[in-house]
């Protein structure tokens, strides 16, 4: 693998399968009485989070601890960033303390690329603005493969705020690379221009993209990134684009419903669907730890000595 994991384009399909297979082995560690292996002993990982996050930050931290890395979390709320320090200077200062890996979450697209250029440490993108969230796509692919035994040839419907979604971008790139048939749907105001270049099929009809789907992936309406009115009201959004039990009925009988979290119940997804039998939302969270352990292991380790 390359030095950093900034976007899906950093990975070949062989490397994606290598991450998924390694994650399979990592999952077993979480079932042991002692949930820890000494692999990254003596390595330092800094989790640098410029945006609020529960799932991703916790998931990375647990993954790092299970591999015995020394971890530290820099939460922006209690850091020099509030005193006006730029990302560049913060990164240079952290770099001076020689961590092996920096996990970065940042509201600006491309922040990880800048960090990767100026730092010797390995950079893992934990979500940068509206660009990408590669480990989320890897754990989604892992969850899909767990249920469907393959990714190739599946119809995957991604519904919701496509415009602001880094999860959609990473998933569209990864799943099409593995041969899935990816369909996306959103109100026209939430469809980014040039989306067809991701290799996906676009429709404003949810019913059309859900028809016969093997996987339905719902995206959160990102109020915090919305300046202006993208749709008339939340209720109308739910009526036209919300995932209801009735809409799920159009998909394959063994469909799985995914959501990267945090969910807006009653906006993009009905509560009975989120908690229903097709939902694998909590499995995604559980798999996130194993997938991040795999990424850390494959990035931060070295070659065989002999």
Partner 1 sequence: MPIVMDADRIARTLTRIAHEILERNRVLDELAFVGIRSRGFPLARRLARIIHEINGHDVPTGALDVTLYRDDLMRKSVGTQPVIQSTEIAFSIDDKHILLVDDVLYTGRTIRSALDALVEFGRPRSIQLVVLVDRGHRELPIKADYVGKNLPTSPTQSVQVYLAEIDGRDEVEIRE
Q: Which residues are catalytic?
A: 55-56, 83, 105, 133
Should residue 96 be labelled a site residue for partner 1 when binding is judged by CB under 8 A? no
CA distance 64 to 61: 5
Nearer to partner 1, 40 or 177 (CB): 40
The answer for residues whose C-beta is within 8 angstroms of residue 53's C-beta and 6 or more apart is 105, 126, 127
The tokens for 278 are 């097709």
Should residue 254 be labelled a site residue for partner 1 when binding is judged by CB under 8 A? no
Cβ 269 to partner 1 shortest distance, Å: 33
Nearer to partner 1, 39 or 79 (CB): 39
Should residue 266 be labelled a site residue for partner 1 when binding is judged by CB under 8 A? no
The answer for residues whose C-beta is within 8 angstroms of residue 108's C-beta and 6 or more apart is 87, 128, 129
Q: Are 51 and 127 in contact (CB under 8 A)?
A: yes
Out of 30, 39, 146, 283, the only residue in the binding site for partner 1 (CB under 8 A) is 39
CA distance 285 to 211: 26
Out of 10, 30, 37, 72, the only residue in the binding site for partner 1 (CB under 8 A) is 37
* Residues recorded for the chain: 306
Q: Are 291 and 23 in contact (CB under 8 A)?
A: yes
Quick one: how many helices (H) and strands (E) in the chain? Answer: 11, 9
Should residue 85 be labelled a site residue for partner 1 when binding is judged by CB under 8 A? no
CA distance 143 to 6: 21
Nearer to partner 1, 97 or 245 (CB): 97
Out of 11, 48, 63, 67, the only residue in the binding site for partner 1 (CB under 8 A) is 67
Should residue 306 be labelled a site residue for partner 1 when binding is judged by CB under 8 A? yes
Helix (H) or strand (E) holding 167: helix 166-177
* Span interacting with partner 1, options 31-39, 102-110, 133-141, 270-278, rule CB under 8 A: 31-39
Out of 43, 106, 145, 220, the only residue in the binding site for partner 1 (CB under 8 A) is 43
Out of 82, 98, 229, 305, the only residue in the binding site for partner 1 (CB under 8 A) is 305
Site string for partner 1, 5-24 (x = CB under 8 A): -------------x--xx-x
Cβ 43 to partner 1 shortest distance, Å: 7
Q: Are 118 and 96 in contact (CB under 8 A)?
A: no
Should residue 40 be labelled a site residue for partner 1 when binding is judged by CB under 8 A? yes
3-state DSSP assignment of residue 164: coil
Cβ burial 217-253 (10 Å sphere, 16+ → b, else e): bbbbbbeeeeeeebbeeeeebbeebbbeeebbebbbe
Cβ 2 to partner 1 shortest distance, Å: 10
Nearer to partner 1, 216 or 290 (CB): 290
Residue ranges binding partner 1 (CB under 8 A): 1, 3, 18, 21-22, 24-26, 28-29, 32-34, 36-43, 67, 297-298, 300-306
């Amino acid at each position: 693998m390359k030095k950093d994991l900034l976007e899906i384009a950093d990975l070949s399909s062989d490397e994606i399968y290598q991450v998924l297979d390694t994650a399979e082995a990592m999952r077993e560690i979480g079932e042991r009485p002692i949930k820890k292996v000494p692999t990254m002993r003596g390595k330092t990982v800094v989790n640098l989070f410029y945006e609020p996050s529960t799932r991703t930050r916790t998931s990375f931290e647990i993954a790092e601890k299970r591999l015995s890395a020394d971890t530290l979390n820099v939460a922006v709320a209690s850091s020099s960033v509030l005193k006006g320090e730029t990302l560049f200077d913060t990164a240079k200062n952290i770099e001076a303390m020689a961590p092996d890996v920096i996990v970065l979450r940042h509201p600006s697209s491309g922040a990880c690329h800048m960090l990767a250029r100026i730092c010797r440490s390995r950079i893992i993108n934990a979500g940068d603005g509206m660009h990408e969230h590669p480990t989320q796509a890897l754990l989604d692919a892992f969850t899909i493969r767990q249920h469907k035994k393959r990714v190739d040839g599946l119809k995957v419907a991604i519904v919701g705020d496509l415009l602001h979604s880094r999860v959609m971008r990473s998933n569209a790139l990864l799943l099409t690379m593995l041969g899935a048939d990816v369909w996306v749907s959103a109100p026209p105001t939430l469809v980014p221009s040039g989306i067809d270049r991701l290799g996906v099929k676009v429709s404003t009809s949810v019913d059309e993209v859900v028809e016969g789907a093997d996987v339905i992936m719902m995206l959160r309406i990102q109020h915090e990134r919305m300046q202006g009115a993208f749709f008339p009201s939340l209720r109308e959004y739910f009526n036209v684009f919300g995932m209801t039990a009735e809409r799920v009925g159009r998909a394959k009988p063994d469909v799985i419903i995914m959501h990267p979290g945090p969910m807006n119940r009653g906006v993009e997804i009905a509560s009975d669907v989120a908690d229903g039998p097709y939902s694998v939302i909590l499995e995604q969270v559980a798999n996130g730890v194993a997938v991040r352990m795999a990424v850390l292991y494959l990035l931060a380790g070295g070659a065989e000595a002999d």
